[in-house]
Amino acid sequence: MKVKKRLKTLIPTLRERERYIAFQIISENPISYIDLEKNLWDVMEEFLGEYGLSKTSLWLIKNLYDSKNQMGIVKCNHKSLTQVLACLGLISRLGESRVVFKILKISGTIKGLRVNLFKGKN
């Protein structure tokens, strides 16, 4: 029997409801994606713990990170939205640079954010 390479997608009633948070990083020096990703996961793990982090379904979307304007999108499930936002507030340094996260928009679909924030990029 031939095994398919991809898993079947979940039926809609079993899928998680997602939230996409668009943010902008205000920083002293330019921030690389690698610094952002490492620090985001570290802070989340420190604050929520491994178990708490597993419940958030957190994902930083790499191909939508705009390094010029330092804007990006982080994905999580709808139940852990406030946890993720609180953790974004707890990030005070990325690499050597002090930073502040500005929350631009929160949406249930990635399309909504892309239409408003990343016009002309993709």
CB of 91 vs other proteins, minimal distance in Å: 9
Looking at the Cβ atoms of 65 and 101, the one nearer to other proteins is: 101
* Side-chain half-sphere exposure of 14, counting CA atoms within 13 A: 4
DSSP 60: E
Residue from the set 16, 28, 42, 66 that interacts with other proteins by CB under 8 A? 28
Residue among 54, 56, 60, 45 nearest 83 (CA): 56
String of contacts with other proteins for each residue 45-84, x by CB under 8 A = -x----------------------------------xxxx
The DSSP code for 93 is E
Residues within the interface to other proteins (CB under 8 A): 26, 28, 46, 81-86, 88-90, 92, 98-103, 106
